[in-house]
């Protein structure tokens, strides 16, 4: 009887494993298609009006602040879409938010060294710290299949914030906060 039971479970177990593997591959392919590449062109993320504002601004520190305000608009749009339970468009907007943060952080290096650059890092930290308060609960609202991407956006924002803090503090290594015990 035990041999018969093992034979019956074996094909079923194989089908389950194959089905699970297929589902995982499909999810990874969907995520790869949805994710914005690291080298995303900034003009693809901005409206014509926002591009014009950025082009008019000559001061790199003010350009960073402008990009942070635009990123904040994208975050509010993602929050609105999440509240309406439009999760796929919300995730696309969140990925654009992440790319804008990465562009803003990279643009800080064009700020002349010294006080202005330190000030730009501090502005980046302050903006992102405020935005993380909205971003964290939003990541929990996403359905199971999209949660990993939303959490990746949250982790990237947190990492960039800590890099900005380290740069502001004179390259001293600050530790990441410990996760709260539940």
For 2-44, what is the HEC assignment?
A: HHHHHHHHHHHHHHHHHHHHHHHHHHHHHHHHHCCCCCCCHHH
User: Mean pLDDT, to the nearest integer, of 7-36?
Assistant: 47
Q: Tally Cβ neighbours within 10 Å of residue 62.
A: 15
Q: pLDDT at position 21, please? A: 43
What distances in angstroms separate CA 73 from CA 23, 46, 111, 127, 145, one per listed residue?
A: 34, 11, 23, 12, 25
Task: Return d(Cα 80, Cα 89) in angstroms, integer.
Answer: 10
Q: Is the pLDDT of residue 167 over 90?
A: no
pLDDT tens for each residue of 100-154: 999 999 988 888 877 788 888 888 888 999 999 888 888 888 888 888 888 999 9
Task: Return d(Cα 140, Cα 92) in angstroms, integer.
Answer: 16
Provide long-range contacts, Cβ within 8 A and 24+ apart, for 24-30: 27/145
- The pTM for the full model equals 0.70
User: Mean pLDDT, to the nearest integer, of 142-168?
Assistant: 87
Q: Is the pLDDT of residue 1 over 70?
A: no
Q: Which two tokens stand for residue 114?
A: 């010294």
Q: Is the pLDDT of residue 24 over 50?
A: no
Q: Is the pLDDT of residue 2 over 80?
A: no
Grade residue 31 by pLDDT with cuts at 50, 70 and 90.
very low
Q: What is the DSSP string of 106-137?
A: HHGGGSPTTHHHHHHHHHHHHHHHHHHHHHHH
Q: Tally Cβ neighbours within 10 Å of residue 172.
A: 9
Q: Check residues 155 and 41 and name the one with the higher pLDDT.
A: 155
């Amino acid at each position: 009887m035990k041999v018969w039971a093992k034979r019956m479970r074996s094909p079923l177990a194989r089908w389950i494993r194959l089905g699970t593997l297929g589902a995982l591959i499909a999810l990874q392919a969907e995520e790869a298609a949805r994710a914005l590449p690291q080298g995303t062109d900034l003009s693809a993320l901005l409206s014509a009006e926002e591009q014009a504002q950025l082009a008019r601004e000559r001061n790199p520190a003010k350009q960073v602040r402008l990009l942070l305000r635009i990123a904040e608009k994208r975050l509010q749009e993602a929050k609105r879409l999440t509240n309406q339970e439009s999760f796929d468009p919300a995730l696309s907007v969140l990925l654009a938010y992440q790319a804008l943060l990465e562009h803003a952080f990279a643009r800080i290096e064009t700020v002349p060294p010294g006080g202005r650059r330190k000030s730009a890092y501090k502005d980046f930290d302050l903006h992102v710290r405020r935005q993380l308060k909205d971003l964290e609960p939003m990541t929990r609202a996403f359905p199971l299949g999209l949660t990993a991407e939303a959490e990746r956006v949250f982790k990237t924002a947190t990492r960039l914030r800590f890099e900005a803090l380290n740069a502001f503090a004179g390259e001293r290594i600050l530790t990441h906060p410990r996760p709260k015990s539940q």
